Amino acid sequence: MSKPVDSDAPPKATPGSPRVGRPPRVSVQAIINAALEIGLEQASLKQIAEKLNVAPATLYRHVRNRSELLRLAAFELTLARRLPSGNSEHWSDLATRYAETLFESFIAEPQLMNELLKGRLGPDAEVDLLEQFLAAIRRHDFSPEQGVRLFHSIGTLMLGAAAGAIGLQASRESDRPWSKAMHELLARRDSDELPNVRQVFPQSIDRQPHDWLPALRALLVGVAALRGETLPEPKAARAVARSQHSERH
C-alpha cells in the first residue's frame, strides 16, 4: 500500500477564484482530530484540509508538515489511552500513572518537548487531557481548582525530569557521558573544593532517569497533607508488603 506523501514545505498558491469572507477557523486540535478520524496511516494534509473545508495552506499555519502532525497525534493518543479513568484506586495512583505517561511520552518523542518549549503545542494539546484528568480526580473529592494545580504541578515536574533524562541519555551516547565528565571535573579541582558536592557524589547526584519518583512522592505527600490525609505507600510497595505477609502466613 502506498503511503501518502506530503511536502515538508507549504504548497505554493495556485491561480483561482479568491475565497470570499473570513477563512474557516481551524486549530491544532481540530487538525489532530481530523487526522485521527481519517486514520494516521492514511491521512494526508490534503485529506485533512478537505475534511475541515479549508485550504491546505491553512494547515501550515499550525503544523509544519505531516511528520509533525503525526507526532502530535501519537502523543495525544498515548496520553488518552493511559489517562486515569476510574475511582477504584487511590488518587495518588492516578496521579503517578499520569506522571509516568507524561515522562514516557516525552522520552519517546523528544521533539514534542521542543514543540512545547517553542509554544507550538499551545492549549489545544492540553485542554482535552486536562478535562479527562479533572473528571477522574474529582471522583476523589478534589475541587476543580485543586485538580488543576495538581495537573500543572505534575506536568512541571515531568518536564524537568524528561529534560534531564534526555540530556543524560545524549551524554551517554557521546564520548563524554555526564558521570565521567563529573569525575573529571572533581579531579581537576583541589581536594578541598566543593566539599558538599563530593560528599553526595555519586550516590545522590549520578541518578537514573526514574529517580524522579521520590520527587513526585514528595509532591503527593504535600498534597495529601493539605487535604488532611496520610498518603498510603506506593502501589508497588503495597504489593511487596502483601506478598511478604502471605509468605509469613
Task: Give a yes or no: residue 190 inside a domain.
Answer: yes
Long-range contacts of 103-109 (CB under 8 A, 24+ apart): 103/158, 103/161, 103/162, 103/165, 103/212, 104/78, 105/75, 105/78, 105/79, 106/158, 106/159, 106/162, 106/166, 107/162, 107/165, 107/166, 107/209, 108/78, 109/71, 109/74, 109/75
172-214 pLDDT, tens digit each: 777 777 777 888 888 899 989 999 988 887 765 555 655 788 9
What is the per-residue pLDDT for 5? 47
Task: Give a yes or no: residue 247 inside a domain.
Answer: no
92-117 pLDDT, tens digit each: 998 998 898 888 878 877 766 776 77
Q: What is the mean pLDDT of the chain?
A: 77
The total number of structural domains in the chain stands at: 1
Task: Give a yes or no: residue 37 inside a domain.
Answer: no
What is the per-residue pLDDT for 240? 36
244 confidence band (pLDDT: 50, 70, 90): very low
Kindly state the cell numbers that stand for 240: 511487596
Task: Give a yes or no: residue 95 inside a domain.
Answer: yes
The CATH number given to whatever domain includes residue 185 is 1.10.357.10
Task: Give a yes or no: residue 211 inside a domain.
Answer: yes
Task: Give a yes or no: residue 13 inside a domain.
Answer: no
| In the chain, % of residues over pLDDT 70 | 71
Q: Which domain holds residue 196?
A: 86-229
